[in-house]
Amino acid sequence: MREMKFAEGLRGRAVIGAAVMLGVLGAAGVRAQAETAGDGLALDARLTIVVSADEPGPVHRAAEDLASDLGKVFGTKPKIAEQSAGSGATVLIGEARKLPEGMRPENVTEAESFSIAVKGKTVVLAGADMRGTIYAIYQFSQQYLGVDPLYYWTDHEPERSARVELPAGLSHAYPAPVFKYRGFFINDEDLLTGWAPGAKDHAGISLAAWDKVYETILRLKGNMVVPGTWIFPNDPQIKAAAERGLIVTQHHAIPLGLNVARWPKDVPYNFSTHPEILERAWKDAVAEYPPDIEMLWDVGLRGLSDTSYASMDPSVQGDDKLLGKRISDAIEEQMKIVRAVHPDAKFVTDLWQEGARLAQEGYLKIPPEVTTVWADDGYGYIQDKGEVKAGQGTYYHVAMMNNRTNQLTEMVPIERISDELGRYEKAGATQYFLVNTSDIRPYSLTIRAVMDYVWLGKLPGVKEEPADFYRHYAAEEFGEKAAGAIADMYKDYFAAPARLETRNQGDPSREYGDQLYHTEGRQMLQTYMIDAPLYAIPGQSPKWTIPRLIGDGFGRPGFGGREWLTTAVPREIQQCGDAQPRWDAVWKKAVAAEALVPAPRRQFYQSSVLTMVTIQRESNRMLEDIAKSVQDAQKGDMAAAQQEATGALAAVGEVRKAQAAAEYGKWKNWYRGDWLTGVYRTQQVLEDYAGFLKDPESHLPPPIVWNGWEAYYHIMQYEGDRSADVK
C-alpha cells in the first residue's frame, strides 16, 4: 500500500480503478462490521483516510483539511491513501455512485446531499456529487470532531483527545440544502487587504488568505463566491476558487465580470449611443475567465463605480420606462454573448437600488431563465415589498459600506434575519442566496446564522424564538456556562443603537452603524473648521474621475454646510445621548460575562465581543462629544468645547486600544486596513480640531472627505494601470 501523493497535476495522472481498489476495502469493512456489531467504532491516530485518485481535486483538498482536523484532535495527522491500510479504522471518502455496493449509502441522490455512516471499521463519507462529498467531510469534522466551521476566524480549535467514539450502526443522511446557490461576496475588503496584501500573488488579497475564505464557505455548506469587488476575470483567486470546488459568480456592479471601476478614460460608457463598445467589453470579459470553471453569470447594467446607469446616459434620466428598456436590452445582449461561448450557461440578475423599482414598475423585463435576485438595504430588510416569488432569491448584507452601516461590528439582529429569510423560504424563493460578508472576521455570529439558515431552512438551536440562536452560538463559541449571559448581552447589543429617521411612513427605523459615527463626526468637525465646500475624492470610481462637491450622504438637505450643521448637532446630542446609557449597560453585561468564558476562548471573546461593544459604545460617546463641542464652540464657550473635544479623543483612544488588543497572533495588523470606517482618520481630524479650538490661526486640514478613496487605492493597487479591455 502506498501513501497518497497530492501533486498539482493530480487529475491528469493515471488512476487505480476505484471499483477494484474499494472492493477490497468494502469486503474488509463488511467482515469488520460483523466482528464489532454493537461495539461502536473508536478512531485514533492510527486511522487511514482513503480517497480514490479518480475523485476530483476539490475532494482531495477537503480530505487534506480532514487530515489536519484529525491531527488537531489526535496530535498526529493520519495518512491519506488510495486504499485501506491493514486492520485499523478507515475513513472512506467518495461520491456515492463510485463506492462499492456494500459501502454505498441509500437516499443520497439529490444534488449536494450526503451521508455519514459507520460500516464495521469504516466511516463512510459519501455525497451525491463532488460538493456533497465535500460537505460530508466537513460535516463529519464539525459534528464528530468538534471543528468550528468558522474556526479560522474564531480561533476555535477542537479539544485534544486520544480517541473519538462513534456509535455502531451510525447512518445519517443529510438532504440537499434548502437554497440552491449559497455563497459569500467579499466586498469592500479593506481589512483583509491591509492584513493580508496579495501584491506578490497579483491579487488584492494573498492567495493563502483566499484559500481560507474558500475553505470557510465550503465548511458552511456554501457553493459559490464573488471573490472581490473590483476585480478582473483572470485574477488568480478566481481559478483558486474553482480549484476548491466553488462556483464563481459576479456582483451587480460588474455584470459578466466587466471591471467598470477600471473603465478607460475618454471611452464612452453609453449603451444608447455606443452599444458596440459595451458589447465588445462584455465579450472580452467573458473570454478572460479561465476555461472549464463553473460559472453563474450575473447580467444587468449599472454605471461606473456602482452608480445608476442613468448617471451615465442623459437620454434615460427621468424616464424610468426607457431606463428599464436599456437595462432589459443589455441583459438580452449579455445572455447572447455568454451563450455563444457557454451554451448551457445559467444567469442571475441582482435588483440593487433602481433595479428593484424598475422591476416593480414593470419597466425591467427579466427573461424567465434568469433568476431574479432581490437585494436588502444594508440593514437586513429585503426590498421586494412583498412581491417575491418562488424560484427567486436574495442578495443580503451582514456588513455594508455606505457611510452609515457596519464595517467593523455586528449590526443585523438575528430576529430580522430569521423573519426575512423565513419569508423567502416560505415563498419558495430559495434559488439563490449571496451574503455580503465584507471582511468576514467581525461578523462571525451573523455569517453563521445566515449560512446555517440557507442550508437547513431554519436556525439551529431555536426552540421558541429566533433569539434562541444567540445562546446556541454563544454555547458553541464560549461554552455552556457563559451562554446565557452572552445571549442576554447580544439581545441588548442589537437594541442599543440610536436610530436613523425613517424616510417613508411605516418603514422600520435603521440602526446607527459604526461608519455613521465616524463619517458624520469627521464631517461635523470639518464643516465647523472649514465650512462648505468640502470635496469627495472618488473611491470606487475609475482613477481618472475628478473630485466632486459632496452631496447629501444622509438624505438631508445642506449636508456639508452650516445649514446642515445646525440640524445635525442637536440631533446627535439627543440621539447619542439617549443611546449612551444603553451602551453602558451592554458594556457592563459584556464585562460580567467574560468571567464565565473558559480561558482558552477569552482572546476571541475580547476580539469579537469586547472590541465590538467598545467600538459601538465609545464611537457613540465620541459623536455625542463632538456634537456638544461644536455646539459650545458656536456659542463661544471654548473651554467647554475643548473639554468635550478631549472627551471625544479619549473615546477614540479606547476604540484603538481595544483594536490593538484584538491583533494577537496571526491577526497582527488586522486593523491596518481600516480605510473605510477610518477610526484612525477620525482621531487625526479630532486632533486638528482640538488644535484649531486653541488657535484659530493654525493650519487647517484639507477640505477633503475621503469616502473610501484610500481603501480602494490599496484594494486595487495591484492592478497598476490596467484598464478594462474594450477593444
User: In the chain, pLDDT over 70 holds for what percent of residues?
Assistant: 93
Query: Does residue 384 have a pLDDT over 80?
Result: yes
Instruction: Please report, as a single letter, which amino acid is at residue 640.
Output: A
Q: Please provide the average confidence, as pLDDT, over all residues in the chain.
A: 92
pTM: 0.93
Confidence bin at 31 (pLDDT 50/70/90): very low
**Residue 232: strand, helix, or coil:** coil
pLDDT at 40: 87
Query: Does residue 95 have a pLDDT over 90?
Result: yes
**Contact in structure between 316 and 322 (CB atoms under 8 Å):** yes
Last residue of a domain, one of 447, 466, 485: 466
Over its C-alpha atoms, the chain yields an Rg (Å, rounded) of: 27
Q: What are the counts of helices (DSSP H) followed by strands (DSSP E) for the chain?
A: 21, 19
**Residue 630: strand, helix, or coil:** helix
Smallest CA-to-CA distance from 678 within 522, 570, 484 is with 522
Clarify whether residues 141 and 211 are in a common domain: no
pLDDT at 333: 98
Read off the DSSP letter of residue 474. Answer: H
Last residue of a domain, one of 174, 200, 235: 174
Query: Does residue 684 have a pLDDT over 80?
Result: yes
In a domain, 489, yes or no: no
Query: Does residue 38 have a pLDDT over 60?
Result: no
φ/ψ (deg, to 5) at 179: -90, 135
In a domain, 4, yes or no: no
Q: Give dist(CA 347, CA 359) in Å, integer.
A: 17
Query: Does residue 32 have a pLDDT over 60?
Result: no
DSSP string for 681-707: HHHHHHHHHHHHHH-TTSPPPPSEE-T
Q: Give dist(CA 348, CA 297) in Å, integer.
A: 6
Q: Give dist(CA 378, CA 362) in Å, integer.
A: 24
Query: Does residue 26 have a pLDDT over 90?
Result: no
Q: Furthest-apart CA pair in the chain: how many Å?
A: 91
pLDDT at 603: 98
In a domain, 727, yes or no: no
pLDDT at 29: 33
Q: Give dist(CA 154, CA 441) in Å, integer.
A: 8
Query: Does residue 39 have a pLDDT over 80?
Result: no
* Residue 472 neighbours by CB distance under 10 Å: 20
Q: Give dist(CA 488, CA 511) in Å, integer.
A: 19
In a domain, 483, yes or no: no
Q: Give dist(CA 184, CA 30) in Å, integer.
A: 41
CA 449 vs CA 145, 207, 221: distances in Å: 21, 26, 12
Instruction: Please report, as a single letter, which amino acid is at residue 341.
Output: V
pLDDT at 393: 98
Clarify whether residues 57 and 73 are in a common domain: yes
Clarify whether residues 310 and 418 are in a common domain: yes
Contacts of 247 (CB under 8 A, 6+ apart): 181, 183, 223, 224, 225, 294, 295, 296
Confidence bin at 549 (pLDDT 50/70/90): confident
Clarify whether residues 447 and 416 are in a common domain: yes
In our burial notation (b when 16+ CB lie closer than 10 A, e otherwise), range 393-429 reads bbbbbbbbbbbbbbbbbbbbbbbbbbebbeebbebeb
Smallest CA-to-CA distance from 536 within 564, 557, 559 is with 559
Q: Give dist(CA 278, CA 309) in Å, integer.
A: 13
Clarify whether residues 29 and 155 are in a common domain: yes
Q: Give dist(CA 665, CA 646) in Å, integer.
A: 32
410 alpha carbon, distance to own chain's centre: 12
Clarify whether residues 199 and 325 are in a common domain: yes
In a domain, 205, yes or no: yes
Q: What is the pLDDT of residues 212-268, one digit of tens each?
A: 999 999 999 999 999 999 999 999 999 999 999 999 999 999 999 999 999 999 999
The three three-digit cell numbers of residue 46, written as one number: 492510527
Domain extent at residue 549: 514-717
Point out which residues pair with 49 in neighbouring strands. 80, 91
Q: For 509-616, list the strands marked E by DSSP.
A: 535-536, 548-549
Q: Give dist(CA 692, CA 698) in Å, integer.
A: 6
Confidence bin at 506 (pLDDT 50/70/90): confident
Q: Give dist(CA 607, CA 673) in Å, integer.
A: 16
What CATH number did the domain enclosing 99 receive?
A: 3.30.379.10
**Contact in structure between 143 and 258 (CB atoms under 8 Å):** no
pLDDT at 277: 98
**Contact in structure between 259 and 232 (CB atoms under 8 Å):** yes
Read off the DSSP letter of residue 260. Answer: G
* Residue 217 neighbours by CB distance under 10 Å: 27
Last residue of a domain, one of 149, 174, 199: 174
Smallest CA-to-CA distance from 441 within 594, 220, 213, 228 is with 213
* Residue 2 neighbours by CB distance under 10 Å: 9
Q: Between 320-341 and 275-288, two packed helices, what is the crossing angle to 10 degrees? A: 40
In a domain, 575, yes or no: yes
Q: Give dist(CA 94, CA 75) in Å, integer.
A: 25
Clarify whether residues 167 and 206 are in a common domain: no
Q: Give dist(CA 274, CA 585) in Å, integer.
A: 59
Instruction: Please report, as a single letter, which amino acid is at residue 167.
Output: P
pLDDT at 35: 33
Clarify whether residues 461 and 610 are in a common domain: no
Clarify whether residues 448 and 541 are in a common domain: no
**Contact in structure between 372 and 387 (CB atoms under 8 Å):** no
pLDDT at 5: 31
**Contact in structure between 674 and 191 (CB atoms under 8 Å):** yes
In a domain, 501, yes or no: no
Q: What is the pLDDT of residues 448-468, one digit of tens each?
A: 999 999 999 999 999 999 999
Q: What is the pLDDT of residues 283-337, one digit of tens each?
A: 999 999 999 999 999 999 999 999 999 999 999 999 999 999 999 999 999 999 9
Q: Give dist(CA 372, CA 278) in Å, integer.
A: 23
In a domain, 562, yes or no: yes
Contacts of 562 (CB under 8 A, 6+ apart): 527, 531, 532
Clarify whether residues 546 and 688 are in a common domain: yes
Q: What domain count does the chain have? A: 3
The three three-digit cell numbers of residue 397, written as one number: 448584507
**Contact in structure between 298 and 345 (CB atoms under 8 Å):** no
Q: Give dist(CA 191, CA 195) in Å, integer.
A: 6
Query: Does residue 2 have a pLDDT over 60?
Result: no
Q: Give dist(CA 137, CA 127) in Å, integer.
A: 9
pLDDT at 303: 96
pLDDT at 19: 33
Read off the DSSP letter of residue 606. Answer: I
Clarify whether residues 217 and 149 are in a common domain: no
What CATH number did the domain enclosing 241 receive?
A: 3.20.20.520
Clarify whether residues 595 and 669 are in a common domain: yes
pLDDT at 504: 79
Average pLDDT over residues 151-171: 96
pLDDT at 415: 98
